[in-house]
Amino acid sequence: MMHLRERVLAALHYETTDVLPYTLPIEEEVVLRLDAHYGGAAWRERLQQHLALISVPALGVRTDVPERYTDPFGTTWRTDRRPYHLEIPALTEPDLSGFVWPEIDALWDADIIAQQIAAAQAEGKFIVATTGFGIFERSWALRGFENAMTDMLLEPKFYEALLDGILRIHLEIVARFLELPVDGILLSDDWGDQRGVIMGPRLWRKFIKPRAAQFNAAVHAGGKWTFQHCCGSVFDIIPEMIENGLDVLESLQPEAMDVYEIKRRYGQQLRLWGGLGTQHLLPFGAPEEIHAEVARLRNELGRGGGYILSPAKALMPEVPTENAVAVVEAFLDA
């Protein structure tokens, strides 16, 4: 029998594995309902989470604080609502002259990262490190979403300088991860919505593509796999993401793009991770529909390797218990 990390590596090399590698993130409320359904927590041990995602806590948003939180970049977030959302951006004007970027040493928590890696290694998982908010995401986290989109058109020189500062932080974090026993590094940067690329392919090519290419080149130079998280539809730019050096595309939101068509067109150039719909199927579908879709993903996307099974997002509280059970059982059959 293959070990967890061996299965993932085999899949990334387009090899068939004894068990299809998978991840199944589940939010705590659903976990507790599953505990009640199964009469305890033993069901958790049956799941084989093949990949571990490790992160730099300071590069995210703390949700363990009441109401409001100001991140190391100076942006204030409202954390008492679901989802948390930006309240006051660090940069209220398109001007970097008085802005002080956080020091990497102040962001990097070596002890926490070492603990995450040690736990993943103890379980034999494939380790993917993430650098937090991506290049585009950090830009709107600093400016506010509408301001960032406007900057692309009205303040392009400022926006280029902003992105370059963000990229510098990312590359410094990548350099530190490359010194550690991780297998891949993920750029988490939502470029898509339900309709397509948020800023449109032209502006993506101008602002985001060259910087994502630098990110991927740095990861490859360190001998690691490149991963990209993108919600929504990025179908129109997938060939350019491959050209940019992307190895694995993650999330694969089926409500926004045809994941089977992606496999047909690009399955020998790009590995896929995700694809099970969490927007419609899991909250509103029937258990038998969930079993059928997991089987189809396994048979079609998993054929010939290059695929890691996962829901597009974690199982959230709106997923009924019977559907959560169906997902768990279908994954155990994968």
296-325 pLDDT, tens digit each: 999 999 999 999 999 999 999 999 999 999
The verdict on residue 76 lying in a domain is no
Burial class (CB in 10 A: 0-12, 13-18, 19+), 110: exposed
**pLDDT, tens digit, for every residue of 53-103?**
999 999 999 888 888 999 999 999 999 887 889 999 999 999 999 999 999
CA separation (Å) from 215 to 41, 174, 273, 278? 40, 8, 20, 29
Peptide bond preceding 83 in cis form (omega within 30 of 0): yes
Looking at residues 320-333, what average pLDDT do you find? 97
pLDDT value at residue 225: 99
d(CA 187, CA 173): 11
Tens digit of each residue's pLDDT (9 = 90 or more) over 151-182: 999 999 999 999 999 999 999 999 999 999 99
CATH number of the domain encompassing residue 277: 3.20.20.210
Domain range for 17? 4-62+104-332
pLDDT at 226 over 90: yes
| For residues 18-41, average pLDDT | 97
81 in a structural domain: no
- pLDDT, tens only, 231-268: 999 999 999 999 999 999 999 999 999 999 999 999 99
pLDDT digit string (tens) for 190-224?
Answer: 999 999 999 999 999 999 999 999 999 999 999 99
Residues present in the chain in total: 334
pTM assigned to the model: 0.97
- How many independent structural domains does the chain possess? 1
> Does a structural domain hold residue 282?
yes
Indicate whether 327 belongs to any domain: yes
Residue 84 domain-assigned (yes or no): no
pLDDT at 271: 98
| pLDDT surpasses 80 at 25 | yes
67 domain-assigned: no
pLDDT for res 62: 87
Q: How many CB atoms lie within 10 A of CB 223?
A: 8
Q: What is the mean pLDDT of the chain?
A: 97
Q: Cβ(139)–Cβ(166) under 8 Å? A: yes
Rounded Cα distance, 237 and 216, in Å: 16
pLDDT value at residue 65: 83
Domain-located, residue 80: no
- Both structure tokens of 87: 């309240």
- Residue closest to 102 by CA, chosen among 114, 84, 90: 90
The percentage of residues in the chain with a pLDDT greater than 70, rounded to a whole number, is: 100
> What's the confidence (pLDDT) of residue 1?
78
pLDDT at 278: 96
Contact present, 277 and 258 (Cβ < 8 Å): no
82 domain-assigned: no
Q: What is the pLDDT of residue 197?
A: 98
**For the chain, percent of residues with pLDDT exceeding 90:** 95
